[in-house]
Amino acid sequence: MINIEQDKHIGIIARELNLTKKQVANTIKLLNEGSTVPFISRYRKEQTDSLDEVEITAIRDRINKLVELEKRKETVLSTINEQGKLTDELRKRIEECYDPVELEDIYLPYKPKRRTRATIAKERGLEPLAELIMKQAEGDILKIAQGYINNDVPTIEDALAGARDIIAEWISESERARNIVRRHFKRSAVIKSRIVKGKETDGVKFSDYFEWDEPIGKCASHRFLAMRRGQTEGFLKVSVTPAADDVLDDLSRAFVKGDTESADQVDFAIEDSYKRLIEPSIENEFTAELKEKADDEAIRVFAENLRQLLLSSPLGQKNVLALDPGYRTGCKLVCLDSQGNLKHNETIYPHPPQKEEGKAMSKISALVDTYKIEAIAIGNGTASRETEALVKRIRFNNEIQVFVVSEDGASIYSASSVAREEFPDYDVTVRGAVSIGRRLMDPLAELVKIDP
């Protein structure tokens, strides 16, 4: 039996994903029964009307978000009700809201607050003055403010500053103000990255972003994640902001009425509200949204790369020499027979600081002859290009194919229980090199050994 709330969710998902309500309802039912996405897409086509795994996953993710939203609504309603401020109109707005951002905007004026500048000003009796200023009527505001001077508010400027703090908080909690700022963020926000002073040397790997400005709409996911990583590691300062003057002009048009002394005070409060309260909040909101999109794109790219990796054509049963390149610690070298059995391993040092190029080339040449090597696999990590160039300079007696192989996950495999059982007498460097060689022979068979 589907209740009214569930039926609303089904309707929302059906509209958003351009599916029928029956498809969505049956899919949710199967998911609630514990069926997995692969199971539903393969064995329950008659119930879902042949939805594929992408559509089923989209339904699963959206219903989970809607369920979380309903839980949040319950918390919001309960909190406002405890304050005695839950009107029928407000309850209806919350119950009919299906946008998490909009829900938080509705809740913001009622959200329990820490002690703020506005809270302190209210405690000092300045809220009536703030209300008078917000009306922006004609009158001598300095004379009016004088009436609020007391032991806690010693001067007229203190009274006006406190009133502005209250107004700034009111504006920051206004849905209208926040939506104005959001529009500017969407249209013209720029992501800016700057090097933290004194970190130029240690943060050299982020040098591309020492002074970087780019509209958020044009910022590629990998660049955004790189800047975030630089910020997390303490090398970069990253901000996402639109042009402040344009935002303040629009906020003034929305909240300033006329040309009175009180209107001037409201204008001051608007600037403070934007810079101190609204901008940081909306920046966090947009940064979180950008990160979620960047993470999704990174996962998509990773999945596509993995698909291509898993579907790579196997070299087949051939004798392979595999190299796991490195500089200071050398290049780990292994020889495998056509069945992937380890026949020989050692370490060569062709790169700095040892620079034993001639010795390394002679060793590779000799091993190729000894073990009748038919192909060479080189890991694509550190020193890969230099190692590939070295190998291609060797004059072999027979034609030897040279391949650069992805070593992603090789270190995970080499330290796994599967690798230890297979090669109990060898360390992780040998196991990693063996994995690189076997990936060339049969990628799928080797990659399935890696714990996801």
Q: Which residue bears the tokens 């060797």?
A: 394
For residue 5, the model assigns a pLDDT of 66
Q: What is the number of structural domains in the chain?
A: 3
Q: Is residue 255 part of a domain?
A: yes
Cis peptide bond upstream of 38, omega within 30: no
Q: pLDDT value at position 135?
A: 94
| Claim to verify: residue 434 and residue 376 sit in the same structural domain | yes
Q: Is 236 left (phi over 0), alpha (psi -120 to 50) or beta?
A: beta
pLDDT in tens, 141-158: 999 999 999 999 999 999
Last residue in a domain, options 94, 110, 126: 110
Of the residues 90, 110, 130, which one is the last residue of a structural domain?
110
Tell me if 129 is assigned to some domain. yes
Q: How far apart are CA 134 and CA 262, in angstroms?
A: 7
Does 279 share its domain with 395?
no
CA 344 to chain centre: 44
Q: Please list the alpha-helical segments (H only) found in 200-348.
A: 221-232, 244-255, 261-272, 279-310
> Three-state SS for 320?
strand
> At residue 65, what are phi and psi to the nearest 5 degrees?
-70, -40
Predicted structure pTM score: 0.73
Instruction: Answer yes or no: is 258 within a domain.
Output: yes
* Sign, Cα dihedral of 351, 355, 359, 361: positive
103 shares its domain with 124? no
Domain assignment of residue 32, yes or no? yes
Instruction: Collect all residues with Cβ–Cβ distance below 8 Å to 151 and sequence separation of at least 6.
Output: none
Same domain assignment for residues 123 and 100: no
Residue 227 lies in a domain: no
Shared domain for 9 and 42, answered yes or no, is yes
In this structure, are 279 and 424 located in the same domain? no
79, part of any domain: yes
Which DSSP string corresponds to 78-114?
HHHHHTT---HHHHHHHHT---HHHHHHHHGGGS---
Same domain, 153 and 252: yes
Which of 304, 331, 346 delimits the end of a domain? 304
Q: Which amino acid is at 195?
A: I
The domain in which residue 441 lies consists of 320-447
Q: Are residues 142 and 11 in the same domain?
A: no
For residue 109, the one-letter residue type is P
Query: Based on the domain organization, do 328 and 273 belong to the same domain?
Result: no
**Helix or strand or coil: residue 323?**
strand
Distance, in Å, from the CA atom of 132 to the CA atom of 436, rounded to the nearest integer, reads: 75
Predicted confidence at residue 308, as pLDDT, reads 82
Q: Does one domain contain both 12 and 84?
A: yes
CB distance 25 to 74 below 8 Å: no
CATH of the domain at 64: 1.10.10.650
pLDDT at residue 198, as a whole number: 93
Residue 206 maps to a domain: no
Residue 306: what pLDDT? Answer: 79
Query: Could you say which residues of the chain have pLDDT below 70?
Result: 1-5, 452
Same domain, 101 and 162: no
Q: Are 451 and 412 in contact (CB under 8 A)?
A: yes
Q: Residue 357 sits in a domain of what CATH number? A: 3.30.420.140
Residue 452 domain-assigned (yes or no): no
- Say whether both 278 and 135 belong to one domain: yes
**83: Cβ contacts below 8 Å, ≥ 6 apart:** 110
Sheet holding 401-405, edge to edge: 342-348, 331-336, 320-324, 375-379, 401-405
pLDDT for 448 equals: 85
Distance, in Å, from the CA atom of 2 to the CA atom of 6, rounded to the nearest integer, reads 6
Q: With 0-12 CB in 10 A as exposed, 13-18 as middle and 19+ as buried, what is 61? A: exposed
Tell the residue number behind the tokens 């609204």, with chain if given: 278
